[in-house]
Amino acid sequence: MASKTALVTGAAGFIGSHLVDRLIAEGYSVVGIDDLSSGRLANLPDGFDLRNIDIRKPGVRDIVAEVRPDFVFHLAAQISVSVSAREPVKDADVNVMGALNLLEGIRAVEDEKIKIIYVTSGGTAYGEPAVLPALESTPVRPLSPYGASKLAIETYLPVYEKIFGLEYSIIRLANIYGPRQDPHGEAGVVAIFAKAMLGRKPLKIFGNGNDERDYVFVGDVVDCVLKAAENSLPGPFNVGTGVGTSTNRIFEVLAANCGHTEKAVHAPPRAGDINRIFLDATKAARELGWTPRISLEDGLKTTAEWFRQQSD
């Protein structure tokens, strides 16, 4: 049987590059799209077919037409909540217009079925629901432009299905961490802490650190994304552990792994940040057979080890 072809946007990024590795290992033929605005070529295997292009450019549609993939995994995005709060138009331009540009590219390939797997944010979609963990049926009430822009594309996908027959799956991620996460951005507390702790640099916790997020190791996310691709169910599927972990606890576990002995310095909370969110993923377990396998302790240890190797 001829190998399946996958087009991965955001391929040079944190999650995208792990997905690329897995797809290649599973025998897919893989092409990536990334403008390298935050992604890095070093995240990708040598000789990988990466198209360095902004997702908003018309050339993206030509790439879809040329590659004619079986699957499009859409991960390219403006991912910073803070940037989205400062520049909502820029955020929407990438996350809404860029995604629509891609959808138009898929729609234009009329003689082949292309399925899109849209990777979006469950950590921001639900806002701060009264009942936790949040289910997929929990009302969506994003509190940041980023949460709103990512969610907007979720509302387009069923419309494209109805009008144009597009097949899709929606994956709503909690807070993802692991090797290759960018420690220079404003998101990704694990990467930021690990890098600062190992580099003996000062680090601060925004707010009192009692805020809770749902941390999932990147390898578990890739498992779920692939299961969704193999399936014909649209979701949305939460990808979470169902358990909240405080920023203070992350600090503590990482400090133990990184030999960091300084106390944390606290700073005022940031605009758009959510205080408490964790996701119920029993739907993904039931319909896709997915459950997270890596414990927080093991995942943080692996991540700290990776950052240590980078700093050597």
Ligand X SMILES: NC(=O)c1ccc[n+]([C@@H]2O[C@H](COP(=O)([O-])OP(=O)(O)OC[C@H]3O[C@@H](n4cnc5c(N)ncnc54)[C@H](O)[C@@H]3O)[C@@H](O)[C@H]2O)c1
Q: Which residues have a catalytic role annotated?
A: 146
With beta carbons less than 8 A apart as the criterion, state whether 175 and 216 touch. Answer: yes
* Burial bucket for residue 197 (CB in 10 Å: 0-12, 13-18, 19+): buried
> Does residue 13 interact with ligand X by CB under 6 A?
yes
Orientation angle between helical segments 247-258 and 296-311, nearest 10 degrees: 50
Q: Is 38 in the site for ligand X (CB under 6 A)?
A: yes
Q: How far is CA 142 from CA 125, 139, 278, in A?
A: 5, 10, 14
Residue type, 268: P
The minimum distance between CB 272 and ligand X, in angstroms, equals: 14
Smallest distance, ligand X to C-beta of residue 92, A? 12
> Pick from 7, 72, 173, 190: which binds ligand X (CB under 6 A)?
173
Which distant-in-sequence residues (6+ apart) come within 8 Å of 188 by Cβ?
Answer: 14, 177, 181, 182
Which of 6, 20, 21, 34 lies at the binding interface for ligand X (CB under 6 A)? Answer: 34
Decide whether 121 or 302 has the Cβ nearer to ligand X: 121
From 29, 54, 129, 167, residue interacting with ligand X (rule: CB under 6 A): 54
Based on the shown chain and the rule CB under 6 A, indicate whether residue 79 belongs to the binding site for ligand X: yes
CA distance 271 to 151: 19
The yes or no reply on residue 194 touching ligand X (CB under 6 A) is: no
Contacts of 75 (CB under 8 A, 6+ apart): 8, 9, 10, 11, 13, 15, 16, 19, 119
CB of 207: closest distance to ligand X in angstroms? 18
Three-class SS of residue 247? Answer: helix
* Among residues 31, 50, 119, 254, the one that binds ligand X under rule CB under 6 A: 119
Choose between 165 and 223: whose C-beta lies nearer to ligand X. 223
Given 32, 39, 272, 299, the residue binding ligand X (CB under 6 A): 39
Asked if 16 touches ligand X (CB under 6 A), the answer is yes
How far is 76 from 33, CA to CA, in rounded Å? 8
Nearer to ligand X, 123 or 133 (CB): 123
Of 115, 150, 195, 283, the one binding ligand X (CB under 6 A) is: 150
Q: Is 257 in the site for ligand X (CB under 6 A)?
A: no
Helices (H), the chain: 14-25, 59-67, 81-86, 88-92, 99-108, 122-125, 145-164, 189-198, 218-230, 247-258, 282-288, 296-311
Is the Cβ of residue 56 or residue 227 nearer to ligand X in the bound state?
A: 56
List 6, 8, 44, 55, residue binding ligand X (CB under 6 A)? 55
Q: How many chain residues bind ligand X (CB under 6 A)?
A: 31
Residues 214-233 that bind ligand X (CB under 6 A): none
Among 26, 27, 36, 298, binds ligand X (CB under 6 A): 36
35 binds ligand X (CB under 6 A): yes
Whose CA is closest to 183, among 33, 11, 40? Answer: 40
Listed in sequence order, the residues at least 6 apart from 45 whose beta carbon sits closer than 8 Å to its beta carbon are 20, 21, 24
Secondary structure element (H or E) that encloses residue 121, with its range? strand 115-121
Q: According to CB under 6 A, which residues from 83 to 112 bind ligand X? A: 94, 98
Quickly count: other Cβ atoms within 10 Å of residue 8's Cβ: 30
Nearer to ligand X, 151 or 200 (CB): 151
Which residues of this chain interact with ligand X, rule CB under 6 A? 10, 12-16, 34-39, 54-56, 75-79, 94, 98, 119-121, 123, 150, 173, 175-176, 182
